[in-house]
Amino acid sequence: MGRQARAAAYKLAQLSSDEKNAILREMAAAIRQRVPELLAANAKDLQAGRAKGLSNAMLDRLMLDEKRIEAMAAGIDQVATLPDPVGQVLDSWTRPNGIRIEQVRVPIGTIGIIYESRPNVTADAAVLCFKTGNATILRGGSEALHSNVAIADALAAAGAPEHAVQLIPFTDRESVAVLAGMDKWLDLIIPRGGKGLIETVVSLARMPVIKHYDGICHLFADAAADQEMAVTLTVNSKTHKCGVCNALETLLVHRDIAAEFIPKAAAALRAKNVELRGCERTRAILADAIPATEEDWSTEYLDLVLSIKIVDSLEDAVSHINQYGSHHTDVIVTRDEVTAERFLREVDSACVFHNVSTRFADGGEFGFGAEIGISTDKLHARGPMGLRELTSYQYRVRGNGQVRG
C-alpha cells in the first residue's frame, strides 16, 4: 500500500486544479448516491458499538444519518470551491547574478492518517489530501470499520488516480505500528483520536507527526467581562457538543466578579445538566459544587462536567492556562481591550479568542472547508489544519548558465 501510495502521489502532482475539482465533485455525488448503503453499514457499527457498551458520546461520534451524510458531501463540494494552494508562489526574488528564485507550495507527498470512531474523517481526510495532491493511507477504528469501508468505496468510484486514497481494511493494533515505521513510503502521519492512540503513534513514528493530545480549553471571565455574554459563551462552549476537543473544560473567574457571576453561570449550566466542580473559593459561593482536585485542572472530560476556579488577576489566569492547559483553545471574556490583547499575546495556545465561544476552533468555522484536524504543535502546522497545512514548499531556481566562482 505504501508503494502504491507513492506512485499515486506522483500522478496526483500532475493533475490540474480543474481536474482535481471535477473529481471532488464526483466524490460528493457518489456519497449522495450511496446514502442507503452508508446508513446500512453504519447501522452495523452502531449495533456492535452498543453491544460493546460504548458511551453515548462515542455512539454520537459514530452515528451517521441523512443530515450528516449530506454534510459530508457538502463538505467535499466546498473543498472543490476553495483555492488550490499547490503552485502558489510564496515569495520570489532575483539575485545580483541574475538567478531567479521562487518559493512555491507543493504537496507533502504521502500521508498516513490514523483515527477513531468518526466515520466522516474518512471523507474529510481523503478529500483535503486529494485537493492538495497528497496520496493517503487511512486506518480507521474498529468501531467504524463498516462505515469507513463504505465511504472509501464511494470515494474510490469517483475517478481519482488508482490508490490515491487507500483504506486499510482491518483494524488490528499491529497495523498502527507498521504504518508508523513506513518512513520509506510515508512523509507524514496524522493521528486523530484519544490520548493513548496519539502517544502510541508518537512513540513509534519514524516520520514527522502532527497531532494534539488533549483539548483542555479554558474560558476566563475577567473583572471587566460582560457577565451575560460570559454566561452565554460558557454554556455554548461547554454544552453545544461536549464530547469534542474544542469544548470548554475549565472556567476561570476573576475574584472581583465571582460572587455575582458564578451563581448566574451555575444556574445556566445546571439547566443543561452540567456537573460542577470547584476550588475552595468557588465552593464558598456554590456550596453544593463537588470539590475540585488537582487532577481536575488537567482533565479533558469530554462530558457534561466543568471545573471552576477563582483567580486573583489576569496573570493568575494566564499562569493557570499555560500550566494546566493543552495549548488548544482558550478564551477571555472582557470589555477591556488592553487586557484582552495581553491575554492573546501571553497565552501559549494554538487558538486564543476574545469574546468568542471555544466551539469556533474548527477548520470549517475558520473558512478552511473540512479540516484534517487540529494541531497543538508549533512545526509546521498549528491550530485547525486546512489545505495550506497539507503542503510544503520547494525552491525553483532559474538562470541562464550561471556558475559559482
Determine the angle formed by the axes of helices 35-52 and 66-81, rounding to 10 degrees. Answer: 120
> Residue 65's domain is classified under what CATH number?
3.40.605.10
Q: What percent of the chain has pLDDT over 70?
A: 100
Q: What is the pLDDT of residue 370?
A: 65
pLDDT band per the 50, 70, 90 thresholds, residue 375:
very high
Which position has the higher pLDDT, 118 or 277?
A: 277
pTM reported for the whole predicted model: 0.88
Q: State which residues form the domain around 7.
A: 2-211+377-398
Q: Which among 185-194, 316-325, 360-369 has the top mean pLDDT?
A: 316-325
Determine the angle formed by the axes of helices 145-156 and 35-52, rounding to 10 degrees. Answer: 160
Q: How many domains does the chain have?
A: 2
User: Residue 367 domain-assigned?
Assistant: no
Query: Same structural domain for residues 36 and 170?
Result: yes
Tens of pLDDT along 313-354?
999 999 999 999 999 999 999 999 999 999 999 999 999 999
Q: What is the DSSP letter of 271?
A: T
Q: What is the pLDDT of residue 106?
A: 97
Weakest mean pLDDT among 110-114, 131-135, 169-173: 169-173
Q: What is the pLDDT of residue 185?
A: 97
Tens of pLDDT along 251-276?
999 999 999 999 999 999 999 999 99
Number of neighbours of residue 350 by Cβ within 10 angstroms: 20
Query: Same structural domain for residues 48 and 132?
Result: yes
Please check whether residue 40 is in contact with residue 134, taking contact to mean a CB–CB distance below 8 angstroms. Answer: no
Q: What is the pLDDT of residue 369?
A: 67
Cα separation of 122 and 196, whole Å?
20
> Residue 338's domain is classified under what CATH number?
3.40.309.10
